[in-house]
Structure 1
Amino acid sequence: MLNILLIYLLPIFHPFYVSVTEITQDPKSKVLQISVRVFFDDLEKALDHQYKEKVNILKPVDRKKVDLLLADYIRKHLQLKVNQQNLSFKYLGYEIEEDAAWCYFESPALPAIKNIEVKNDLLFAEHESQSNMIHVTVNGKRKSTKLDNPKSSASLFF
């Protein structure tokens, strides 16, 4: 009886670790819009670990400092190459939705995209079982992949 009870309760006590990155090229402006969804408590722990500072994303004492730390952390752990060229992207801000932080970025306008290489090791240092979902939409075509720690990179062709 106890074994059966444990089977049903184990998922409740064993959290899962996942982020979602949405990358969409706006058809008119040709800008890549990048949204990263991460559980805010996991993100706070990662920022605390990397920067040795206690960070409160929900109620920041200094929002500008939190924005700087978030932007730096995500840029270090999410890198993109478009058509074999490194892509820089600008941090726009973040918002909280339920138990997650949505962090927003955008790139400059880009020529036709043939391939995107994604390196995403967000939270890999914090969680052995971290998975990062990637969804890319270019010219109305959506492609997705999942990166399970330690695999941190994938190429998508359009």
Structure 2
Amino acid sequence: MYSLKYIILLLCFACYSVKAGIKHPLHVSTTEINFNAKDKTLEVSCRIFSDDFETILAKLYKQKIDLNSANMKTEMDGLIKKYLLSHLQLKANGKGTVLNYIGFEIDREATNIYLEVERIPAIKSVEVNDTILYDLFDDQMSIVHVVKGSTRKSTKILYPEKKFVANF
């Protein structure tokens, strides 16, 4: 099993490689789910390499994709929402949830996507079903963090596995 330090080192190398124009050797996405007790929500953020994300969106939806284009922002929002809602599902306390798409932003070579689940009064468990980029790479790794207060549960999910359950 890889240590978290090793995974972080690999992610740093991958980010440097992309910035230097080298195709990144690591196919990874991260998803973080934070329980906001005050607002009674699950706040979800996903981070995906933009070049990989644009590739899968173009492949699936057969159209021009440019996540950096301000003129295409509304269209890109629709495609990102469609993709994420079909590749990321959550259960809270054993019950399915409805993910609300908030939006996305580009941060250098990565795309950050924000979603939210409303009306979660308390959290005992979160089940994550993550297949982001599985339809592009058969060596995809998903790093998942679930945070409740000061407690963080983390794992890596390697293709073809797709589920993680965090119990609190």
TM over 0.5: yes
Once the two structures are superposed, residues 31-74 of structure 1 have per-residue CA deviations (whole angstroms, 9 ceiling, x without a partner) of 11100000011011111111111211112542111001001101
Alpha-carbon separation, structure 2, partners of 1:84 and 1:60:
39
Identity %: 36
Name the larger-Rg structure.
1
Alpha-carbon separation, structure 1, partners of 2:24 and 2:45:
27
Alpha-carbon separation, structure 2, partners of 1:13 and 1:54:
21
Matches within 5 A, 1:14-29: 15-29=25-39
Q: Which moved more, 1:133-142 or 1:58-67?
A: 58-67
With normalisation by structure 2, the TM-score equals 0.83
Once the two structures are superposed, residues 68-103 of structure 1 have per-residue CA deviations (whole angstroms, 9 ceiling, x without a partner) of 100110110000011111111211111111100000
Equivalent residue number for residue 115 of structure 1: 125
CA RMSD across the alignment: 1.5
Equivalent residue number for residue 31 of structure 1: 41
Structure 2 residue corresponding to 1:128, chosen from 135, 138, 160 = 138
Matches within 5 A, 1:1-158: 15-158=25-168
Q: Which moved more, 1:68-77 or 1:47-56?
A: 47-56
Alpha-carbon separation, structure 2, partners of 1:84 and 1:13:
39
**SS of aligned partner of 2:118:** strand
Residues 37 and 122 in structure 2, CA contact (< 8 A), matched pair in contact too: no
**SS of aligned partner of 1:93:** strand
Runs of 5+ in structure 1 lacking a partner? 1-10
Once the two structures are superposed, residues 93-137 of structure 1 have per-residue CA deviations (whole angstroms, 9 ceiling, x without a partner) of 111111000000111120211111110010011011110000000
Alpha-carbon separation, structure 1, partners of 2:75 and 2:136:
22
**SS of aligned partner of 1:62:** helix
Residues 144 and 155 in structure 2, CA contact (< 8 A), matched pair in contact too: yes
Query: Against the structure 1 CA distance between its residues 13 and 88, is the aligned structure 2 distance closer, same or farther, given a 3 Å change threshold?
Result: closer
Alpha-carbon separation, structure 2, partners of 1:111 and 1:134:
22
Residues 88 and 132 in structure 2, CA contact (< 8 A), matched pair in contact too: yes
Aligned residues between the structures? 148
With normalisation by structure 1, the TM-score equals 0.88
**SS of aligned partner of 1:45:** helix
Alpha-carbon separation, structure 2, partners of 1:123 and 1:26:
27
